[in-house]
Amino acid sequence: MKTTSRIFRAALLCIPLVLAACGGSSDDPLVRKTHLGEVQGAQDASASTWSWKGIPYAKPPVGALRWQPPQEPDAWTSARTSTAFGNACAQYGRIYGPGANNRHDETIGTTLNQAVGNEDCLYLNVWRPATADENLPVIVFLHGGSNVSGYTADPMYDGAALAKTANAIVVTPNFRLGILGFMNLPQLKTGDAATDSGNFTMLDSIKALQFVRTNARAFGGNPESVTVVGQSAGAINVWALQTSPMMTAASPKLFHRVMPLSGGISLASNLPVGSIPTLSPASTYLSQGNALLQNLVIGDGLATDAATAQAYIAGRTSAQIAEYMRSKTSSQLFTTLLTKLALLGLAGSGPIPDGTVVAADPIGAINAGNYMKVPVLAGNTRDEGKLFPSFLPLVGGTGNARLVTDAQLFAHHFSYNPNAAAQTTVEQWIAPSYLPVNAPTTGFTARAEALNRIFFLNSRDNVLNALKAKQDNVWYYRFDWDEQPAPWNDIYGAVHVVDLPFLFGNFGPSLFGNVWFSTANRPGRVELSASMMQAVSSFARNGDPNAAALGVNWTTWPRTLVFDATPTAKSIRVE
């Protein structure tokens, strides 16, 4: 069996550092020459940044290329207009978008649990300051969404403000999601280790990083100074990259610093009993793949139950089953996932610890020194657990803490006016058994804190303590900002994802923008956001997040830098 796929082995052996710094024969700074051809970008509305959107970094993974490692795209001969985001990757609709139009709009509320996006989606976006500066650090951001949803066209991920404030190149790639991105099914295996890993999402991320390595100088970036940032599922993927045997062996290295935010990489066996692991074993994904195939066969009337489905499958060759699976539309796959696999607890997705692309035990790999020993800046929000009210029974709660449906939540938030008097009450959102919100032990905040401990903080302690035993340059922040208008300060507070608008300097439009961000809290949050982006700038340049804008000395883990603000001013401290 090969240890890596042929295309990845060749790509990793010697990736050219590249192409002209300003992009080829044109004197137009909006035209840059990549290794595939020229791209024509646009000047952003602020006039202080340039962007190139929808650049293909791999062939569309459709037809025979579904559940295959990403392939090098075809080159082009004339300048490619790169001013519009590529398609969101195929996924089922959630309140976080993209809806029907690859943007934040009202269709998000009408496409919940329906197939949205497109399998032709392997595109990335680039922002940079509108200056002649070269050799800028590169920041690559991997979005969150439980590894089943998300899209780079989400306005919260617009890289213009971060590129300007950090004086950096910002890159946001799309990557395959859910069962199209992670699939462990024997009939799809070919004997090639990368293909057989089932980690197509991870291979997409590696392919995007290869594009960055090859083309960084074309956009004025430094290929030797690449920081990979990820939030939530994106953070899990960043940890997976840092501990990946493929990345550890790669030469040249594809990244040089990591920023995993609100995510971990621990198996249940790495954690205290009762914790929620952030990494599932390969066997879970094998069960998922087999259950998906069985349920599709039954749904097509080719069998009547699990036993006859197994007999039908056993009577077909692997090639026949692979062709059958690739014949299914994304809608058919997601419908089966949501109506059948979810009932079995098999609807989730994430890195598959195969031992080639993803370490079999990432924490064990760190303990053994088999990982990329690069500077680490990790973070969490104080109230992560408040975004997961349905999980609160795991910590002694009674039922789902949230009273409204996703459709009701989206419709309400989409049209809310944060500058008007409160238009709702906490009692309309939080179940009575969790009230009053601040009651010791039983209140919504206390239950969310208990969930935060078993879900986020146990994994945080596990990975950061393992790293700290091997290297000193590990920093950590907690995000405490909770200055939303009432009652959202209780319902959300410093919830999971609340730090992202500050990191990107984008306070709307977004799912939560209309309920979190008011005129009253603007001065403090804008000042806090600027300081966060300066810290990111420093980390991306120097591997150390200390910056004058913080006003404090940020010491390494286990010390914590707390990002906070009053309505009128930032408030940053070290604990």
DSSP string across 60-83: ---GGGTTS---PPPP-SSPEE-B
Which of 236, 268, 300 corresponds to the end of one domain?
Answer: 268
DSSP code, position 480: -
> Is 70 a domain residue?
yes
**pLDDT per residue as tens digits for the range 220-274:** 999 999 999 999 999 999 999 999 999 999 999 999 999 999 999 999 999 999 9
> Is 382 a domain residue?
yes
DSSP code, position 86: P
Tell me the C-alpha distance between 256 and 529, whole Å. Answer: 24
**pLDDT per residue as tens digits for the range 172-227:** 999 999 999 999 999 999 999 999 999 999 999 999 999 999 999 999 999 999 99
Tell me the C-alpha distance between 416 and 111, whole Å. Answer: 20
For residue 386, the SS3 value is helix
Flag whether pLDDT at 3 surpasses 60. no
Q: How confident is the model at residue 46 (pLDDT cuts 50, 70, 90)?
A: confident
> Is 280 a domain residue?
no
Which residues neighbour 516 within 8 Å (Cβ) at sequence distance 6 or greater? 418, 484, 488, 492, 498, 501
User: Most distant CA pair in the chain: distance in Å?
Assistant: 69
**pLDDT per residue as tens digits for the range 439-476:** 999 999 999 999 999 999 999 999 999 999 999 999 99
Instruction: Return the minimum-mean-pLDDT range out of 1-10, 292-301, 372-381, 400-409.
Output: 1-10
On whether the CB atoms of residues 231 and 354 are closer than 8 A, the answer is: no
Flag whether pLDDT at 22 surpasses 70. no
**Residue 381 and residue 257 in one domain:** no
pLDDT at 45: 84
CATH code, domain carrying 94: 3.40.50.1820
> Is 344 a domain residue?
no
**Residue 112 and residue 257 in one domain:** yes
Flag whether pLDDT at 24 surpasses 50. no
Tell me the C-alpha distance between 296 and 433, whole Å. Answer: 40
Which residues neighbour 301 within 8 Å (Cβ) at sequence distance 6 or greater? none
> Is 165 a domain residue?
yes
For the segment 536-560, the average pLDDT, to the nearest whole number, is: 98
Is the bond into 98 cis (omega within 30 degrees of 0)? Answer: yes
Which of 203, 236, 268 corresponds to the end of one domain?
Answer: 268
**Residue 253 and residue 396 in one domain:** no
**pLDDT per residue as tens digits for the range 273-323:** 999 999 999 999 999 999 999 999 999 999 999 999 999 999 999 999 999
> Is 333 a domain residue?
no
Give the helix/strand (H/E) hosting 173. strand 169-173
Flag whether pLDDT at 430 surpasses 50. yes
**Residue 408 and residue 537 in one domain:** yes
User: Phi and psi for 465 in degrees, rounded to 5?
Assistant: -70, -35
Which of 221, 246, 268 corresponds to the end of one domain?
Answer: 268
User: Phi and psi for 273 in degrees, rounded to 5?
Assistant: -55, 135
For the segment 156-164, the average pLDDT, to the nearest whole number, is: 97
Is 27 buried (19+), middle (13-18) or exposed (0-12) by CB count in 10 A? exposed
**What ranges in 14-151 are assigned the alpha helix state H?**
none
Flag whether pLDDT at 1 surpasses 80. no
Tell me the C-alpha distance between 229 and 159, whole Å. Answer: 13
Flag whether pLDDT at 514 surpasses 70. yes
| Residue listed under structure tokens 């009273």 | 403
> Is 78 a domain residue?
yes
pLDDT at 47: 81
Q: How confident is the model at residue 8 (pLDDT cuts 50, 70, 90)?
A: very low
Adjacency order of strands within the sheet including 37-40: 31-34, 37-40, 80-81
| Residue listed under structure tokens 């050219």 | 16
pLDDT at 244: 98
Q: How confident is the model at residue 26 (pLDDT cuts 50, 70, 90)?
A: low
The structure's pTM equals 0.95
Q: Which two tokens stand for residue 146?
A: 């439980």
**Residue 255 and residue 380 in one domain:** no
- Domain containing residue 558: 375-574
State the Rg of the chain over Cα. 23
Is 508 buried (19+), middle (13-18) or exposed (0-12) by CB count in 10 A? middle
130: β partners? none
> Is 364 a domain residue?
no
Q: Which two tokens stand for residue 168?
A: 């950096």
On whether the CB atoms of residues 433 and 398 are closer than 8 A, the answer is: yes
Which residues neighbour 432 within 8 Å (Cβ) at sequence distance 6 or greater? none
The secondary structure of 331-385, three-state, reads HHHHHHHHHHHHHHCCCCCCCCCCCCCCCCCHHHHHHCCCCCCCCEEEEEECEHH
Provide, rounded to the nearest whole percent, the portion of the chain with pLDDT above 90: 95
Domain count, the chain: 2
pLDDT at 486: 97
Per-residue burial over 164-195, b if 16 or more Cβ lie within 10 Å, else e, is: bbbbbbbbbbbbbbbbbbbbbbebbbeebbbb
**pLDDT per residue as tens digits for the range 93-147:** 999 999 999 999 999 999 999 999 999 999 999 999 999 999 999 999 999 999 9
